[in-house]
Amino acid sequence: MNAITDGGVAAEPAAPDQEQIVAALREAVPGHCILYREEDTRPYECDGLSLYRMLPPVVVLPETEAQVQAVLRTCTRLNVPVVARGAGTGLSGGSMPHPRGVLLGLAKFNRILSIDPASASARVQPGVRNLAISEAAAPHGLYYAPDPSSQIACSIGGNVAENSGGVHCLKYGLTVHNVLRVRMVAMDGEIVELGSEALDAPGPDLLAVFVGSEGMLGVVTEVTVRLVPRPALARVVMASFDSVEAAGQAVARTIASGIIPAGLEMMDRRAVHMVEPFVRAGYDMDTEAILLCESDGTAEEVADEIERMEAVFREAGATRLQVSQSEAERLLFWAGRKNAFPAAGRVSPDYYCMDGTIPRRQLARVLSAIQQMEDEYGLRCANVFHAGDGNLHPLILFDSNKPDEVERAEKFGAAILELCVQVGGTVTGEHGVGIEKINQMCVQFSRDELDMFLAVKRAFDPLCLLNPEKVIPTLARCAEYGKMHVHAGELRFPDLPRF
């Protein structure tokens, strides 16, 4: 067999080649679990962020926890990096393969082990799809609350790695709030139980730091998730506003009035015009911003809450209000929002989805700055926004076949993320840092803080072999990036309270 080398990366002299890795792995797992021919490994070269690609020298698809242990022990012995991968739907290149490493796919861990209605929890393997958990729990009247847009395809192991959210997380929380226990294999092959099926566990909260660690601390082999009772009813209010500011005000007033909507989403004019011809949801085309605000619960509760929501929106200057009158209509209202990404793909050859979070009160400031950037970078941008929790998804539209548009899109994206940090927010709300936003980490964190992240990594993975060179930038990288950018220490809006 031929060793596959990536032209751009110089191999370390002592690094074992593909043939050696495959030979060693044959001792750890059955031969059919190892892929190394290019036609077999090509599908693993990227995740959902296809801008970043790397052909893995070897892909392993273990079938048992013991095999995962054996693979990790083998790689530790050979000093070979390991990148774990779930369904590969990530949007930040978090599971992009390492040029000299093993890609560890967990797709075969696809069993739901148990569902217990009395404790409202389920034990599942990491490769189980997010939506499959809710489907399996449905006969008990329960479901798994975090619902990232990719929930048909994304796996729970990947959700744990990314701390995934969804449109309902203002009310129901993120992955970290809905996972009770994780069983994982550390890089040295040891099995570690984090959390427990009780509501807490002794010692420091290692589960909390493990969730969202982007596959850098351990390989998940089992997860216990919390399930919640499915509400009897859900209805959504759709409201139009003649400015983004007015819509932002309406969001603030809703929250201040004591309502926690089950979902609260905003779309700007461009996003509305992008999706309406595609889904025909009946969106108001003459408006600057649309809010979708959902209430769930018992019939009495929903009727009461919808009434209060409508009152708040009317007071905030809504120009049009519509309440879903049936489940079909509710789904239709949501269809536009949920199809924003495919709609972007329909109006533009390529789009680049950003993922910053900002304090909600900064929304108008940030959106008008993004508008100015459109001219600066010569690209259009549509905005969809998890308005309830401040998570902004600007969709930068570009054409990769045109000269320098990829580069301009990337620079535009980076500028948006840095703006998010400047107004007191963060470079990633739910997609993760991966390889994509590693430079912006230099903007959000000081060197001492980044070093502390490295310290956490070493505590779990002393040899730093699990998904290395992701998430935490090196000193050299930040120095290089810093030449072009102002550090968070010199902030553009010194008036803002922050820390």
Partner 1 sequence: MEFVLSELCEQVMTAHAGRKPLFICGGGSKAFYGNRHRGEGDGHNRLDLTAYRGVIDYQPSELVVTVRAGTPLAEVEQLLAGQGQMLAFEPPHYGPQATVGGCVAAGLSGPRRAAAGSVRDFVLGTRLLDAQGRMLGFGGEVMKNVAGYDVSRLLTGSLGIFGAILEVSLKVAPRPLMELTLRSEATEAQAIERFGQWRSRPLPVSAGAWVAGGGTGDRAGGASAGTAVGGAAGAAGTGGATGELWVRLSGAEPAVRAAAQAMGGDAVDDAQAAAFWQGLREQAHPFFAARPLWRVAVPPTAAPLGLGRTLLEWGGGQRWVAADLPAQAVREAAARAGGHATLFRPADGAAAPADGVFHPLSAPVAAITRRLKQEFDPAGLFNPDRMVPGL
Q: In angstroms, rounded to a whole number, what is the distance separating the alpha carbons of residues 413 and 321?
A: 33
* Least CB distance to partner 1 at residue 96 (A): 17
Q: Decide if 191 contacts 65 (C-beta within 8 A).
A: yes
Report the candidate in 150, 215, 143, 146 with the shortest Cα–Cα distance to residue 182.
215
- Report in angstroms the alpha-carbon separations of 470 from 100, 185, 431, 454, 475: 14, 19, 14, 11, 13
Query: Closest CB to partner 1 among 135 and 190?
Result: 190
Helices first, then strands: H and E counts in the chain: 18, 19
Query: Closest CB to partner 1 among 170 and 223?
Result: 170
* Least CB distance to partner 1 at residue 309 (A): 12
Sheet arrangement for strand 191-195: 112-116, 121-124, 219-226, 179-185, 191-195
Angle at 63 between CA 25 and CA 111, to 5 degrees: 160
* Least CB distance to partner 1 at residue 232 (A): 6
* Least CB distance to partner 1 at residue 227 (A): 8
Phi and psi (nearest 5°) for 147?
-130, 70
* Least CB distance to partner 1 at residue 306 (A): 11
Which residues, 6 or more positions from 206, have their beta carbon under 8 angstroms from its beta carbon? 194, 195
Give burial (CB, 10 Å; 0-12/13-18/19+) of 40.
exposed
Query: Closest CB to partner 1 among 103 and 206?
Result: 206
* Least CB distance to partner 1 at residue 359 (A): 6
Query: Closest CB to partner 1 among 67 and 164?
Result: 164
What one-character DSSP code corresponds to residue 136?
Answer: H
Query: Closest CB to partner 1 among 367 and 427?
Result: 427
Query: Closest CB to partner 1 among 272 and 367?
Result: 367
Q: Decide if 417 contacts 400 (C-beta within 8 A).
A: no
Query: Closest CB to partner 1 among 127 and 390?
Result: 390
Give the tokens for residue 369: 């700055």
* Least CB distance to partner 1 at residue 175 (A): 10
